[in-house]
A and B are shown apart, each in its own frame.
Chain A
Amino acid sequence: MVRRHLVLRVVSKLLIPFILLFALYVQFHGDFGPGGGFQAGVIFGAGFILYALIEGIEVARRVAPTALVRLLMVLGLLLYVGVGYVGLFKGANFLNYDVLAHDPVHGQELGIFLVELGVGITVAATMVTIFFAFVDQARR
């Protein structure tokens, strides 16, 4: 399988870095323009799934073992909720970003950045998990 589909492999090798880069752009530009964690996570996940389709599932699993993907899925969510808890511990309401930094504007910026990062990580990991789960079913 690995030696076949030369065109597909070459083209996807060229594309995948840009897909991942675009995902990061959508992720980190989300607080100034259209974008955000969910979209970025889906794009990142799709880039990785393309890699798995071309290189085969074993190679993809070596890059991202199931345990790691599962951990990322959990970590992203915990990052989101964790940001909410920080607000709580600093005496404000849950998910209040104002208190994250010394002035509210920076706090809002930092808060939305971290929350979207958490969303992005979780969504990307979830997409990959769903893909792996279906592949495993098909091979049984």
Chain B
Amino acid sequence: MDIPGLYNYWIVIVLMMTGFYIVIARGNLIKKIVGLNIFQTSVFILYISMGKVDGGTAPIIAEGVERYSNPLPHVLILTAIVVGIATTALGLALIVRIRAAYGTIEEDEIHAQNTMKDADG
């Protein structure tokens, strides 16, 4: 197995699992959003490294350049980055409202408040 030659995929996998682990294991809502961001970033790297062509440069026509990287995955991921920003902003906005409503951003404390009060509010 060609491990060094596929190093970009290893980076993607490590980042993805790191992010995923944070989302699952951390109770702090802000940390969950950070984990989600790392998780999404790993996908950005997957796409960006996919578009790279060995020896290719930025796809702008110039004298004496014949090999260009594939710009399509890069453009796609620009869209995904925008989506990621919107998700982060919305997640943080929800956290601000949760903090105002519960006085905490720790998941277990919120859960305790929810169950302490009647189960259906």
Contacts and interface: CB of A to CB of B under 8 A. Distances in A.
Direct contact of A and B (CB under 8 A): yes
Nearest to A34: B58
B60 A33 contact: yes
Interface in B14-60: 58, 60
B96 A38 contact: no
Contact of B60 (A34, A130, A134): A34
Contacts of A38: 78, 82
Interface string B100-121: 1000000000000000000000
Interface residues of B, number: 9
Given A33-B60, A34-B58, A130-B89, A137 B78 contact: no
Interface in A84-140: 130, 133-134, 137, 140
B91 to A, nearest CB: 12
A133 B78 contact: no
Interface string A33-51: 1100010000000000000
Interface in B53-74: 58, 60
A134 B96 contact: yes
A44 B40 CA distance: 25
Contacts of B93: 133-134
9 contacts: A34-B58, A38-B82, A130-B89, A133-B93, A134-B92, A134-B93, A134-B96, A137-B96, A137-B100
